[in-house]
Amino acid sequence: MPLWKLFGGASSTITTDIAIPIVSPAEASDLALKYRKEGFETLKLKVGKNPKADIEVLQAIHAVHPTYSSFWMQMRVLNARGFSRP
């Protein structure tokens, strides 16, 4: 059986995500709303510069968009830089 059949067949669309760069909590929240209005269902949040700031961004998005869940939108967190221990 071909893999495309095994995985559910062919599709005329491709689902992708869109990244929110490392920005202020207010900017991240605004971008999340903008991207949702544009039809994106999955956000990729770039983190890793400052753990405290990263948490503030996540909290800001959640405060403005408390319905973030798998039926509204998904969030992925990408830490390409890594954290270091103080």
Least confident segment among 4-13, 24-33, 66-75: 66-75
Cα–Cα distance list, 2 to 5, 15, 55 (Å): 6, 21, 43
Q: How would residue 67 be classed by pLDDT, with cut points 50, 70 and 90?
A: low
Q: What is the pLDDT of residue 64?
A: 73
Residue type, 78: L
Residue-averaged pLDDT of the chain? 79
What is the distance between the alpha carbons of residues 83 and 86, in angstroms, rounded to a whole number?
Answer: 9
Structure confidence at residue 28 (pLDDT): 92
Whether residue 75 lies inside any domain: the answer is yes
Residue 31 is assigned to a structural domain of this protein: yes
7: in domain: no
Whether residue 10 is predicted with pLDDT greater than 70 in this model: the reply is: yes
pTM over 0.85: no
The answer to whether residue 1 is domain-embedded is: no
- State the residue range of the domain holding 20: 15-79
Position 5 in a domain: no
User: Structurally, how many domains does the chain consist of?
Assistant: 1
